[in-house]
Amino acid sequence: MSAITMSKENLGSVSSKQNISAVAANESVLTPAPAPVLVAKDATAPAAKTGSLALQVRSFFEWLLPPLFGLLLLLAVWTLLSYQAKGLPGPISTFKSAVVVFSDPFYSNGPNDQGIGWNILNSLKRVGLGFGLAALIGIPMGFMIGRFEFLSRMAAPIISLLRPVSPLAWLPIGLLVFKAANPAAIWVIFISAIWPMIINTAAGVAKVPQDYMNVARVLNLSEWKIFTKILFPSVLPYMMTGVRLSIGVAWLVIVAAEMLTGGVGLGFWVWDEWNNLNVEHIIIAIVVVGIVGLLLEQALLLIAKRFNYE
Amino acid sequence: MEKYVQLENVNMRFTTNKGSFEALRGINLGIKEGEFVSIIGHSGCGKSTVLSLIAGLLKPTDGLLFCAGREIGGPGPERAVVFQNHCLLPWLSCFENVYLAVERVFADTESKQQMSKRTSAALELVGLTHATDKRPNEISGGMKQRVGIARALAMEPKVLLLDEPFGALDALTRANLQDELMRIMAKSGCTTVMVTHDVDEAVLLSDRIVMMTNGPAAAVGEILEVDLPRPRKRLELAEDGRYNHLRSEVLKFLYERHAKKAA
């Protein structure tokens, strides 16, 4: 996955995958870098102090330069393409359009014309609902499948049959059952987000080290204690991987689902702007989808880090 | 004296993908109360299997196992195990790891405060009071093994089962922990069965050494009485003729009569 993305306010500014806080802090370039920080042990020696400061600034720029070059390259290719292809707006006109879009993100002129903020929030709400339901059902299912051989073999054909199906193939079923577009979109998110959580949780349960289970057996722990003290903490990292993959899939699918179902949301916005032939807005939408996806991923990585004990 | 732990005609056969494998054949062994018995043999001879059988983690294919006159039907808190690779839960602190075991045994009879006291006392016994709140990944391998021992002892077991407890440690740490184990065992006096492949460790710590023949179908080869007086001192014993004699007895068994062919 790409380690870099661009922020819409300033296409030249840079954020790093290692630290989301850099996204917020990148206006003040001279604040201490989140990555390599060297502290001078001897504060009384001014020479050593300035030396370490210079080193700090240097290592900060060394850390910053590669992603900066990557972004500049992307912008250069985009600019070149925009000169070649007719109708494709370049970075500058897109940026100007973005300033307008983001100056009033929460306006509302009826159901088909709402601000970018509403579009993002509505997409997030659908993803949240679909993903939340998938987690609610998928994670306990994963535990059951991982713990009991019979259930695992029972579920195996169902999972291998249904998992490769394209998420959008489920949309007509959703429309048929729910008789409405919005629940159908949530249903599509649900069905596409549930598999990684089931599979990873089950794999985590199956991979609980035999040593820990031996401890449980020697101590004769109750099923509840086994679950809370051994199974759950041991499976948590696998589960978090599943959750992260699920959110990724859900966010991938939402744009396509909303294109088909309509309603307020980023996918619908893209399709609407295509009909209006407003290509700048489509590019803005692509960037926004990328940034929101990146932020979701980073937030979950942070949570996952919290539960890593090794 | 009454045999406290008893194995009668124990056979163990594992069924694997490649067919069945006979690990143990006709094991007979009696262990007296308060005795320290080592089981020694080449790797793969099934000595750990014997320990797992006593622990109740495995069920024998044939034969009977008794502990304190009752048949061993499964794992139980009166038989505590110290594993080779410590097996501490990495998400719990040292205290919580030990407390988990204490709680299992004493939750019905004691208050939380008493159980906390018990846990602290066990950690103090192994000299780890300062590491109480540390997680296992924050302490050294020797310290982890001590927590494992504290966890086992805190349960006040009747039988302590040690599965190559110091096998994963460096030689110096191992010697330190052996001395400490001798001190602790002298204090607690519980029956101990230790699996090891270290001849010095076996002679230094044991009252008897059970030497096993090579697998498959391993059996008890010979049993050696170690009648060295206690407390034993590592440095004094190094010069002791009886110690060296016992040591060479074990070595002869392992490398002359039952030498393992080079793999």
What residues 224-243 of chain A have any CB closer than 8 A to a CB of chain B?
Answer: 225, 229-230, 233
Q: What ipTM was assigned to the predicted interfaces of this complex?
A: 0.78
**In the prediction, which pLDDT does A309 show?**
67
What pTM was estimated for this model as a whole? 0.72
What residues 155-184 of chain B have any CB closer than 8 A to a CB of chain A?
Answer: 155
- Give the whole-angstrom CA distance, residue B165 versus residue B250: 20
Question: What residues in B contact A225, CB-CB < 8 Å?
Answer: 100, 104
* Residue A8: pLDDT over 50: no
Question: What residues in A contact B77, CB-CB < 8 Å?
Answer: 219-220
Q: Is the peptide bond before A167 cis (omega within 30 degrees of 0)?
A: no
* Residue A70: pLDDT over 90: yes
The residue ranges of chain B whose pLDDT is under 50 are 1, 263
**In the prediction, which pLDDT does A46 show?**
53
Give B189 or A281, the one with higher predicted confidence.
Answer: A281
A118-151 pLDDT tens trace: 999 999 999 999 999 999 999 999 999 998 889 9
Please tell me which residue of chain A has the smallest CA distance to B86: A211
Q: Find all residues with CB under 8 Å of B16, minimum gap 6, and list them.
A: none
- For A310, the closest of B85, B101, B137 (CB atoms) is B137
Average pLDDT of the segment spanning A91-95: 89
Name the minimum distance, in Å, from the CA of B101 to any CA of chain A. Answer: 6
**In the prediction, which pLDDT does A48 show?**
55
Lowest-confidence region among A14-28, A182-196, A248-262: A14-28
3-state helix, strand, coil in chain A (%, to 5): 75, 0, 25
Length reported for chain A: 310
Average pLDDT of the segment spanning A173-188: 93
**In the prediction, which pLDDT does A7 show?**
37
**In the prediction, which pLDDT does A296 show?**
92
Establish, for the pair of chains A and B, how many residue pairs have beta carbons separated by less than 8 Å. Answer: 47
High-pLDDT (> 90) share of chain A, %: 45
Q: Is A138 helix (H, G, I), strand (E, B) or coil?
A: helix
* Residue A44: pLDDT over 70: no
Q: Is B4 helix (H, G, I), strand (E, B) or coil?
A: strand
